[in-house]
Chain A
Amino acid sequence: MSEVPVTHILFLSTALFFIGMYGLFTRRNMITMLMAVELILNSVNINFVAFNKFLYPGKLDGVFFTIFIITIAAAEAAVAIAIIINLYRSHNSIDVEGAEELKY
């Protein structure tokens, strides 16, 4: 059984990254934007794991980073959701278009 070449994996992670980017820019709903951010983070995770496997098979550094990022992402999600709840309380909506008081 032949191995999956690295280009496939990179293609997957790049696609994931840009899907995330697209979501981040086009969605106005903050929860969807949060999900898009998670997609971007996961694309990075995939890159880490893939390069770890192909470049330094004997080491685990990339894997550690992946776990680290997952942890951070969990914490970040908690914070983001707290912000979203507060936004909802003050604006009665979680649409980012409505929250633009902090302009010039």
Chain B
Amino acid sequence: MNHYSYIALIPLLPLATFVILGLFGRKYLKTFSGTIGVASLLISTLLSLQVAYNYFLVDGKVNGVYQQIIALKYTWLQFSPNVSIDLGIILDPISVMMLVVVSFVSLMVHIFSLGYMKGEERFATYYSFLSLFTFSMLGLVISTNIFQIYMFWELVGVSSFLLIGYYFEKPSAVAASKKAFIVTRFADLGFLIGILILSFHAQTLDFETLIARLTDTHSTYFTAISTATFLGASVLTWGLALVFIGGAGKSAMFPFHIWLPDAMEGPTPVSALIHAATMVVAGVYLVARLFPIFSVDEFALQIVTYVGLVSAFIAAIIACTQTDIKRVLAYSTMSQIGYMMFALGVAKQGGEEGLGYMGSMFHLFTHAFFKSLLFLGAGAVIHLVHSNDMKDMGGLRKLMPITHLSFLIACLAIAGIPPFAGFFSKEEILLAAFNANKLVYGVALFTSGLTAFYMFRLYYSIFWSKEAHVHDAHHGEGTWSMKLPLIILGIMAAVAGFIPFSHFVTSDGAALETHIDYVFSAAPVLFGVIGILLAAVLYKKQNAKPEAVAASFGGFYKSAYKKFYIDEVYLFVTKKIIFNLIGRPAAWFDKNIVDGFMNLLATVTAKISGLIKGMQSGKVQNYTLYFFGGIVALAMLFIYVWK
């Protein structure tokens, strides 16, 4: 217990909102539910900001290094004297940073939803689900224990499932929510096994002890886990790789990314909150949380790097071909998270080498603002146009000036154009990649150009291209509750890059001096500008060039449009291989052998009871007769048999 224990309120307020709105919302609080949700989250956000101020500027630093503070710890399940599941609050630079990001973005989404979801039948339910999600995500980032993080991890998955399937009358939404749930569940299986491996060898579930034991190369724990091998890799690598699979599932990394584009079936503000800014970075957060352990295992870091790189690259290519604006944004999210992942992969623990770690966290921070802004902007557009397809849009800049401006800022930020937020964070990532691995740097640079291209393709298609032909634009740009978050996030997306992030969040807690190297920055900015110009040429005015370009790419364009057939591969594997080879035999066995045995038992019992039920005649004298018969038989036995 210390003066930080009020932090417990930050997740508990949304939990209380969830319970209250969940129980009473629909019946009694229908009109107030939005206000209640916003109010409780506003308090949470203010508390988070207070924590961040206290931690970063007042008392987090001891001798120039940010300390890990355990604000609260409560033993929940004690398995043995050494191993227990605790519930607690950890404060270190990344968790405090995440607290601010999650509560802030969630607050923006809550406010935006006041206008966007107005008049929905299940308005209160929507807000209670949002609160549940916020609670779980806040609980996740302050976890002190790897099992606590797993619990909140699953809770986050459930609330994501609930929100994707919010429009459950639509079959596509139901299918999308199931897909998201099942795919992430498969990945979470890896996470669970990884937890078991790591904690079995380290004899603890507590992050602090776990990291201390598995990074000290002289300890017995470390020797045991790194010398034991399985299929050619050390058990440490296996454990970390399995934990990373869990993270990859949640963060929509290749090949588990298939759920993210479909998850856009949920309400757009939900996409902004969950599938852009907060939940999908949980995987990055997990790797960052365990980064000291990852950094001692070169092979695990390589996996993180290449999975991140492949995801970033593939997603950027697919994003160039999609026409559903939310899907474009979804693939762009996947691509940016890939950036964060490989930035972690090329980093090392501590000092200058830890630049990638810092860049990854910085990108996470700035990405949360501009990506949620992009989604909310897209939400405002969809609200007006009533369509997700960019073919139905165009020329909206005069109809929705605020949305247009904030969207432009976000696009510039994600394209990495100075002085917007994305420029600074992407710069650190590219620099770290350049120092560590030239191949990674090259792909990342090219991807950054692609990012600028597809974002501006989106921007021009929505706001320029052709004359607006929206018929029922009766509500204009939307209510102030929708514009206000756009303005605030627009400001954040513009200025967040000027925060001296490297002073606050680094791999070892000590401040890292970074400076913008103009010569180095020239290349990414140049790629970004080329991407933007290319998009301007192709999409600013409606013309035939895009089709021509697409045609010149031929089959490659088609396969990118079809998302490289990865969904089809999954369907083939599940439907044709797993269903036929495992599912059907198992179903046959279940129907015939298991059910058959049970049916046999039931039939025999019924037959026998049918035979003897006549004895229960209901006639008293019959019963008396049996009774006397029994007595006589017993008497015979006692007299003649057992003398």
Chain A residues engaging chain B, CB cutoff 8 angstroms: 21, 24-25, 96-97, 99-104
Contacts and interface: CB of A to CB of B under 8 A. Distances in A.
A76 B298 CA distance: 91
A21 B616 contact: no
The 8 closest A-B pairs by CB, nearest first: A103-B618, A100-B618, A104-B616, A104-B613, A96-B620, A102-B618, A103-B616, A100-B619
Contact of B621 (A24, A101, A102, A103): A24
B27 to A, nearest CB: 48
Contacts of A103: 616-619
A104 B620 CA distance: 14
25 contacts: A21-B628, A24-B621, A24-B624, A25-B621, A25-B624, A25-B625, A96-B619, A96-B620, A96-B621, A97-B619, A99-B618, A99-B620, A100-B617, A100-B618, A100-B619, A101-B618, A102-B618, A103-B616, A103-B617, A103-B618, A103-B619, A104-B613, A104-B614, A104-B616, A104-B618
Contacts of A99: 618, 620
A96 B621 CA distance: 8
Nearest to B624: A24
B287 to A, nearest CB: 68
Nearest to B621: A25
A62 to B, nearest CB: 21
Contacts of B624: 24-25
A91 to B, nearest CB: 13
B627 to A, nearest CB: 10
Contacts of A21: 628
A97 B617 CA distance: 11
Interface in B576-592: none
Interface residues on B, range: 10 to 19
B405 to A, nearest CB: 83
A102 B614 CA distance: 12
Interface in B603-622: 613-614, 616-621
A25 B625 CA distance: 8
Contacts of B616: 103-104
B609 to A, nearest CB: 9
A97 B620 CA distance: 8
Interface string B614-643: 101111110011001000000000000000
Contacts of B619: 96-97, 100, 103
Nearest to A21: B628
Contacts of B620: 96, 99
Given A24-B624, A104-B613, A104-B618, 5 more contacts: A25-B624, A96-B620, A100-B617, A103-B618, A104-B616
A102 B619 CA distance: 8
A99 B622 CA distance: 13
A5 to B, nearest CB: 23
A100 B625 CA distance: 16
A100 B628 CA distance: 20
B397 to A, nearest CB: 83
B612 to A, nearest CB: 9
A96 B620 CA distance: 7
Contacts of A101: 618
Nearest to A103: B618
A25 B629 CA distance: 12
Contacts of B617: 100, 103
A101 B619 CA distance: 9
B631 to A, nearest CB: 11
Interface in B211-252: none
Contacts of A104: 613-614, 616, 618
Nearest to A30: B620
Nearest to A100: B618
A51 B621 CA distance: 31
User: Counting chain B CB atoms within 10 Å of each CB, which of A100, A101, A102, A104 scores highest?
Assistant: A104
A102 B618 CA distance: 5
A103 B624 CA distance: 15
Nearest to A26: B621
A96 B618 CA distance: 10
A24 B616 CA distance: 19
Contacts of A24: 621, 624
A104 B621 CA distance: 16
Nearest to A24: B624
B620 to A, nearest CB: 5
Contacts of A25: 621, 624-625
B155 to A, nearest CB: 53
A62 B299 CA distance: 96
Nearest to B625: A25
Interface string B304-320: 00000000000000000
Contacts of A97: 619
Nearest to A101: B618
Nearest to A28: B621
A34 B618 CA distance: 18
A14 B375 CA distance: 101
A20 to B, nearest CB: 11
Contacts of B614: 104
A32 to B, nearest CB: 12
A83 B618 CA distance: 16
B371 to A, nearest CB: 71
A19 B557 CA distance: 106
A32 B292 CA distance: 95
Contacts of B621: 24-25, 96
Contacts of B613: 104
B629 to A, nearest CB: 11
A71 B625 CA distance: 26
A25 B616 CA distance: 17
A98 B625 CA distance: 18
Nearest to B620: A96
Interface string B64-78: 000000000000000
B527 to A, nearest CB: 87
A48 B586 CA distance: 71
